[in-house]
Structure 1
Amino acid sequence: MNDHSLVTAQAPRYAALLIDFDGVLRRWPASDDAIEIAHGLPIGSLRRIAFVPALLDQALAGRITDEQWREQVAERLRATYPGSEAEAAVGQWSQPCGQLDTEVMALLDACHPDLRLVLVSNATTRLARDLQTLGLSERFDAVVNSSELGLLKPEPEIFRAAFARAGVEARQALFVDDDPDNVAAAAALGAHGLRYRDCEGLRGWLEAAGVLRD
């Protein structure tokens, strides 16, 4: 896949930009060391337990709520580290909702106003609350949340749902994600994908696609 040669004389006009949330638009701290140290947990234990696929995927697919997921994280931490303050650690860990990448948001603001923007995220049932807290509730034309659909990227049906909500065919859609498997899955359906690495790469790709304002 050539990220920077999207537009030819025969290429369709891109009508929608489908974009991932975590790892593209939203950033999290590099570590949780301070929380873990303060509550008697080993360094790295919060994410190691919270992000076990067998548990996390239940939350991302909507089989359990965000609250239930965090409760199970606390239970597993308490069982593994009985002398720790597991509940307090998970409570503090759960308070932030991340930070927006202002450079990426500025690029979205620089896109043509008729380009439909669709957020496509593997997320828990807390996504709507986080979007509201970050001031993004009205920013997207549609939000495709895995926990609402019961589908996870890179399953093809979640991308088909995103195309439908954007009101476009796959060939009219741009898709940006930091996970190469997700990009490959969207591209297999006909979308034009970019694996996100940095803002400058995204800027060049959007310019090549012809969707930034002059």
Structure 2
Amino acid sequence: MTANPRGTRLPPFDAVLCDLDGVIRFYDTSEVTRLERAAGLPEGTTASLGYAPENDLPLLLGRITREQWADSIVQGLLPRVSPDEAETLALAFTTADFRADETVVGLLRRVRDHCPLVLVTNATRWLDEDLRRLGLTGLAHSVVNSSHVGVAKPDPRIYEIAVARAGVPPDRCLFVDDRRENVDAAVALGMTGVLHRDAAGLGAALAAALGHWAA
């Protein structure tokens, strides 16, 4: 914790920039796994295609639709499975249900009461709908969505946009993400980085600031 020129102790950061998927939101892929087993495919085959950069990045940059993304998965699954199986797998994967980690959400709501909270996410153009389904429309002060701004993590430009939205210098930002390369990119810009593993770890990272604000 640092001090300002008048000697008053400051919290360890003045804004939190936080990832969505893998930190707040988690997908239920059990139906995809069941379908893969029934089709004789190794578990994770569909995800490896869906998240392959040549299929995933155009979606996250807002250049293709959900239907085009699903079609790219279908094409990757053929001829290992029948056309019907490929389409069923692609549909199940691209429309999989999801949930929020309510412990993480609770921590972030406490943060939001005291400093800017910005979601920085490689996400789709239908993210606003997803946030409504999760009941998280008002969780953050701002959402920096790659498919809207046209750049994706770990490109430095998306971090610069998020810092501008937060309205504080990079060295006063705490950045949280579940991917090492994304955290490293934030640290390279002067932020404090937290590699997310679970809610307990996030709570520990936020504890000093939350304690300061409570005092």
**CA distance in structure 2 between the aligned counterparts of 1:147 and 1:153, rounded to whole angstroms:** 11
Cα displacement string for residues 57-109 of structure 1 (whole angstroms, at most 9, x for unaligned residues): 11112222233212221233244423652222222333334111111111112
Cα displacement string for residues 154-195 of structure 1 (whole angstroms, at most 9, x for unaligned residues): 111100000111222212211101111111111121211111
Contact between 2:18 and 2:119, CA under 8 Å: does it hold in 1? yes
Equivalent residue number for residue 16 of structure 1: 15
Compared CA separation, residues 123 and 211, structure 1 to 2 (3 A):
farther
The equivalences for 1:47-196 within 5 A come to 47-82=47-82, 84-111=84-111, 113-196=113-196
SS in structure 2 at match of 1:62: coil
Contact between 2:66 and 2:94, CA under 8 Å: does it hold in 1? no
Residue identity opposite 1:8 in structure 2: T
Compared CA separation, residues 83 and 64, structure 1 to 2 (3 A):
closer
SS in structure 2 at match of 1:168: coil
SS in structure 2 at match of 1:190: coil
Equivalent residue number for residue 199 of structure 2: 199
Q: CA deviation at 1:213?
A: 4.7
C-alpha RMSD of the superposition: 2.3
Q: Which runs of 5+ in 1 are unaligned?
A: 1-6
Normalized against structure 2, the TM-score is what? 0.85
Cα displacement string for residues 98-126 of structure 1 (whole angstroms, at most 9, x for unaligned residues): 11111111111222613111110111222
Normalized against structure 1, the TM-score is what? 0.85
Cα displacement string for residues 110-153 of structure 1 (whole angstroms, at most 9, x for unaligned residues): 22613111110111222222111111122211111111111111
Equivalent residue number for residue 33 of structure 2: 33
Compared CA separation, residues 184 and 209, structure 1 to 2 (3 A):
farther
**Which has a greater percent of helix?**
2
**CA distance in structure 1 between the aligned counterparts of 2:62 and 2:35, rounded to whole angstroms:** 27
Contact between 1:60 and 1:152, CA under 8 Å: does it hold in 2? yes
Q: Which runs of 5+ in 2 are unaligned?
A: none
**CA distance in structure 2 between the aligned counterparts of 1:154 and 1:12, rounded to whole angstroms:** 29
Compared CA separation, residues 191 and 119, structure 1 to 2 (3 A):
same
